[in-house]
Amino acid sequence: MVGNRLSPDLPRRACHRCEKTYAPSQSTSALPLTYCGFFCEKGDLGYGMDGLESMRFTLEKNVADGIRKAIEEAESTRSSR
Ligand SMILES: [Zn+2]
């Protein structure tokens, strides 16, 4: 970006959201190679990587519950026969 006086020794990237040039090593984002900071990550994704992790955990838990329920149903069907 023209007019940006940033030290050239740090690797620079353009933020995916605000297109600001930033140093990934100084980014507060969970995706420092994509966003300049936490707020751009939040703004672009609508949630942080933390939210994504808990979302996946909930999904896995639901699947596990479904499997357990199916096993319990199969076992109760078998024992009632
Ligand atoms: Zn940004």
Instruction: Give me ligand 1 centre to Cα 74, in Å.
Output: 52
Distance CA 20, CA 8 (A): 15
Closest by CA to 1, choosing from 17, 9, 12, is: 12
Q: How far is the CA of 31 from the centre of ligand 1 (A)?
A: 11
Residue type, 79: S
Model pTM above 0.95: no
pLDDT digits (tens, 9 = 90+) for 4-17: 565 566 789 999 99
Please state, in angstroms and rounded to a whole number, the distance separating the CA atoms of residues 12 and 81: 69
The pLDDT tens digits of the residues spanning 15-38 come to: 999 999 999 999 999 999 999 999
| Average confidence (pLDDT) over 49-69 | 76
Measured between alpha carbons, how far is 15 from 18 in angstroms, rounded to an integer?
A: 6
CA distances from 74 to 6, 22, 65 (A): 65, 57, 14
| Ligand 1 centroid, distance to 49 Cα (angstroms) | 16
